[in-house]
Amino acid sequence: MNRTPDTIKHIIIINIIMFLATQMMPQQMLNLFAMHFPLNPVFKVWQIVTHMFMHANLMHIAFNMYALWAFGTPLYYIWGNKKFLIFYFAAGLGAIFLYTVVQYYSFEQDLQQLLAQGVSKDEIFSVLNSGQIYKGFEEMGVAYYGVMLGASGAIYGLLVAFAFYFPNAELMLIFIPYPIKAKYFVPLLVLSDLFFGITNVLHTPVAHMAHVGGALVGFILMKMWRKHDFNRWY
């Protein structure tokens, strides 16, 4: 258990390489590998996966990679390589799915209002593709131009799994320097993301609903895997 699994090392190394490349070629890397709104011409299908290896700044990647190592290592030794990778990427894909659904819903609301006002769809997308935003329809612009990146969704899935296996392990937040058992800590963290994602009261660039999506997939997989012995499938 003291040895970091090679798979986790490799994921961390890929993230570091991608982060360094982003520092050298920020716009090119973001355009190619960060997740863009599916209706935006910059979107490419591989971004559904590659966004998980992109990070915005040093604190972002440091926190995610530390969490991957800290929570992923004990889970890896329980599951093994194949099961760990399935779980990690499934949580990451669940994160981007929920995030994109929420963004698309927001975009569609504004789109339908503009169409009802007699603005044609071609004109709307022409304006958006020129980099402009309709006044009073800022949420449409946020969705259309938004960029999502980071491994946080997959990490939240790991956090949920960790709480299943080690419910009484004590964890701490930086701004709450008091140990809280994982079975309380993780649900509290996810519920706070759900609250901030729905209300957007903080107006931060954090993709709260991606966190919720990763946690939700992690929860579903854990319930499935505990009901059926997944290891016998291999």
> In this predicted structure, what is the pLDDT of residue 234?
39
User: Mind listing the pLDDT tens digit for each residue in 66-75?
Assistant: 999 999 999 9
Domains, the chain = 6-233 (1.20.1540.10)
pTM of the model: 0.90
Q: Which residues of 94-105 are buried (b: 16+ CB within 10 A; e: fewer)?
A: bbbbbbbebbee
pLDDT reported for residue 101 = 94
Supply the pLDDT for residue 232.
Answer: 47
Q: What is the pLDDT of residue 168?
A: 92
219-212-223 Cα angle (round to 5): 5
C-alpha–C-alpha distance, residues 146 and 138, integer Å:
12
The low-confidence residues of the chain, meaning pLDDT below 70, are 1-2, 173-176, 201-204, 228-234
Residue 55: predicted pLDDT: 95
User: Which pLDDT does position 204 carry in this prediction?
Assistant: 67
What pLDDT, on the 0 to 100 scale, is given for residue 173? Answer: 66
Q: What is the pLDDT of residue 2?
A: 60
Q: Give the Cα-Cα-Cα angle 211, 216, 218 (nearest 5 degrees).
A: 95
pLDDT value of position 200: 74
**102-152 per-position pLDDT tens digit:** 999 989 999 999 999 998 899 989 989 988 888 888 888 888 998 999 999
| DSSP structure class, residue 202 | S
